[in-house]
Chains A and B, each alone.
Chain A
Amino acid sequence: MSHIAIEVAGLSKKYHIGSLQKNHYRLTDQLVDMIAAPFRRAGNLLRGHASGAADLDETIWALKDVSFQVNSGEVVGIIGRNGAGKSTLLKIMSGISDPTWGYADIYGRVGSLLEVGTGFHPELTGRENIFLNGAILGMKKAETERKLDEIVAFAEIDKFLDTPVKHYSSGMYVRLAFSVAAHLEPEILLVDEVLAVGDLAFQRKCLGKMDDVAQGGRTVLFVSHNMGLLQALCKRGIFLQHGTVFTDGTITEAVDAYLQTLEQARSQDLSKRTDRKGQGQVRLVRVDVTNSSDGELSILKTGNPARFVFWVNGFVPGIACNFFIYDSIGQPVTSFMSRVRGPGDAYNPNDGSKFICELDELLLLPGRYRIDVAIVGDNSLQDFIEAATVFEVGDGHVAGRPVRPDGKFSVSMSHRWTLPTKN
């Protein structure tokens, strides 16, 4: 029997950005501000603002009037571009930060996994961290003790149980963190995009576990950029756009709506897009996809050369460009990393503002593809844009063999057959 597990009504969250936050860290500034505030407020009142609130700083609404209901046993995928409010929503539901307006009613215990191993202390051993993390998630010591074997077995870290976790690999970290959270047996499990770190086999295992959680009548909210994963796991999808619910329906409806807006976003000028992540010392300003170096022909064909040009507006030490190709249903196809060097790579002495990636033979099947681009450098992520551009690949030939669109697959490879003959 299912009942309401989550009820969200008119949920809104305002963040202060810009001037106010910059001043926050210095007491002197704050004192000056405190002394000035009453005068400013009086000034605002005189100018006819009703409240007189000194609301001169810039604010953004990370969430605006979000309402939905989730029943127990549902697995809901939360989709949206960077900055759409997905993480804010999960943070409010898990109690980490308060909404500005509205409310979220949660029925039962919440287990949340918003980032991997945040409660872990590097100097403590795996075993010690299990107890610590359990306590942070609200588990009693006896409860953790009872589940210890299960947690360890699920995380596959039995050999390293008494090793300080600072010696763990990132994969082991994720496994342990997920394992503790999943064994909390919460009525509601909130999972942000954390599984991306683990290896494929473990991802499957986690998905299986989340499925079990749902089968047991409990509720899972799952944020991911991996459309394939979402479609495999969820029946329902909520697509957030600019802090509001854009689509709330089946996962296919939500994914379709999301992919459509990604295509729309592409037509927008890249430098005007705000749905990006990273430090921002360097930004991606333009992407060109052409089929030759003269940059005229933009129709790509399977088996023909292709050329991707990424324009950036600055330079930082160790700058590198990574881009990822996804097919029209959001399945990841392939990735390119400029940091991983090949013998044919070169530096462009005359131009510090673009990365050029050339392919002699484009092996993508005909269809539509999108590119997510990450610019890294100065030891951090500088810029990350989803659907920086979308391109079309037309029918062509690979090694002289015609290649046609295929509903299911995305890649073709140059190959030859030796066939039997009747002799």
Chain B
Amino acid sequence: MDNITQRPVGASAVPAAINNLQKTRRQASKRWAWPKLRELWEYRELLYFFAWRDIKVRYRQTVMGALWAIIQPIFTMVIFSLFFGRLAKIPSDGLPYPVFSFAALVPWTFFTNALAQASNSLVTSANMIKKTYFPRLALPIATVLAGVIDFILAFVVLLGIMLYYGLVPTINAIWLPFFLLLALVTSLGVGLWLSVMNVQFRDVHYTIPFLTQAWLFVTPIAYPSSMLPEPWRTVYGLNPMAGVVEGFRWALLGSGTAPGPMIIVSSAVALIILISGAFYFRRMEQSFADVL
């Protein structure tokens, strides 16, 4: 379904007016093709409207409203501080444990929410997909982008907690946007894979709680990655969220590793997941309307 601008065809008498109209050919897609990024760009306002709709609708008819965006990580932080910080006495790179864990929970909560929302994005819009045409990529991307608002709210709370403990962001904080981007790329990459798989296998929906729970423990949230000796710490970077979390702590609190081998590994893995996810999405998207 490539958009080909119509050119006059030799002998056949094609009226001039036809030249102004864009010709679209609907035919069977190739099995592997480039993701339709240009079309997505043309529909960028749709992306904005989907994200805006998600934000608007997410906390409708809830008592706490947008407070949910911060209650979730704060609550986890309190539990972690009590059990891992106080009872288990897990080291926290010399930082107060609540700050240590909350700095990780802010990007982590963004990631888990993005996964949950993105993986369901196609299935919950099944009716729309079956009855209207628009770039399907817009759905998972918009849900991930909508999560950025929650992230910002939680981030403000994080700054407040830091102030309470008398901690000031270091100059490394200029790297924060990069780590947010890394979190976005990771969430979107995994989200794309899961959203497409969810169309065919509804099992995905039930797997996500387990997946995120297991992922939580292989990510240095409750403990510092400095507990691992060096060659292993770089290997640890194969989990892109490990890179995001460590990078976050380093940029904000000056703890953990400076962007080094671990971050490079994490970034590479995140990019591979995103690109492969986009191709997988492109491969499957023409069947969405038939399978959903």
Contacts and interface: CB of A to CB of B under 8 A. Distances in A.
Interface of A: 1, 3-4, 15, 24-28, 30, 91-110, 112, 114-115, 118-119, 121, 123-124, 128, 131-132, 135-138, 140-141, 187
A109 B46 CA distance: 17
A4 B18 contact: yes
Given A97-B286, A107-B21, A119-B128, A102 B43 contact: no
A15 B290 contact: yes
Given A95-B1, A96-B131, A131 B49 contact: yes
Contact of A96 (B18, B28, B132, B201): B132
B25 A25 contact: no
Contacts of A118: 127-128, 130-132
B60 interface: yes
B289 A108 contact: no
Contacts of B56: 123-124, 128
Interface string B258-292: 00000000000000000000000000001101110
A3 B22 CA distance: 13
Contacts of B133: 94-96, 110, 112
Of the candidates B26, B289, B291, the one having the most CB atoms from chain A within 10 angstroms of its own CB is B26
Contacts of B127: 115, 118
Given A108-B22, A132-B53, 10 more contacts: A15-B290, A25-B202, A27-B203, A91-B130, A95-B24, A96-B132, A106-B23, A114-B132, A135-B49, A137-B132
A105 B290 contact: no
Please classify how large the interface on chain B is, using the bins under 10, 10 to 19, 20 to 34, 35 or more. Answer: 35 or more
Contacts of A104: 25-27
A3 B15 contact: yes
Given A15-B290, A136-B46, A98 B132 contact: no
A124 B53 contact: yes
B76 interface: no
B21 A187 contact: yes
A331 B226 CA distance: 80
Interface in B21-57: 21-29, 42-43, 45-46, 48-50, 53, 56-57
Contact of A140 (B15, B45, B57): B45
B131 A115 contact: yes
Interface string B45-76: 11011100100110011000000000000000
A1 B60 contact: no
Of the candidates B27, B128, B131, the one having the most CB atoms from chain A within 10 angstroms of its own CB is B131
B170 interface: no
Contacts of B57: 121, 123-124
21 contacts: A1-B15, A15-B290, A27-B203, A30-B200, A96-B289, A98-B1, A99-B26, A99-B27, A103-B26, A105-B23, A106-B23, A107-B18, A115-B127, A119-B128, A121-B53, A123-B56, A123-B61, A124-B53, A132-B53, A136-B49, A138-B134
Of the candidates A135, A137, A140, A141, the one having the most CB atoms from chain B within 10 angstroms of its own CB is A135
Nearest to B127: A118
Of the candidates B45, B48, B132, the one having the most CB atoms from chain A within 10 angstroms of its own CB is B132
Contacts of A137: 132, 134
Nearest to B58: A123
Contacts of A95: 1, 24, 26, 133
Contacts of B50: 132
Nearest to A141: B45
A141 B17 CA distance: 27
A141 B6 CA distance: 27
Nearest to A5: B21
A114 B45 CA distance: 22
B49 A132 contact: yes
Contacts of A187: 21
Contact of B132 (A1, A103, A136): A136
B28 A25 contact: no
A118 B134 CA distance: 12
B203 A26 contact: yes
Contacts of B21: 107-108, 187
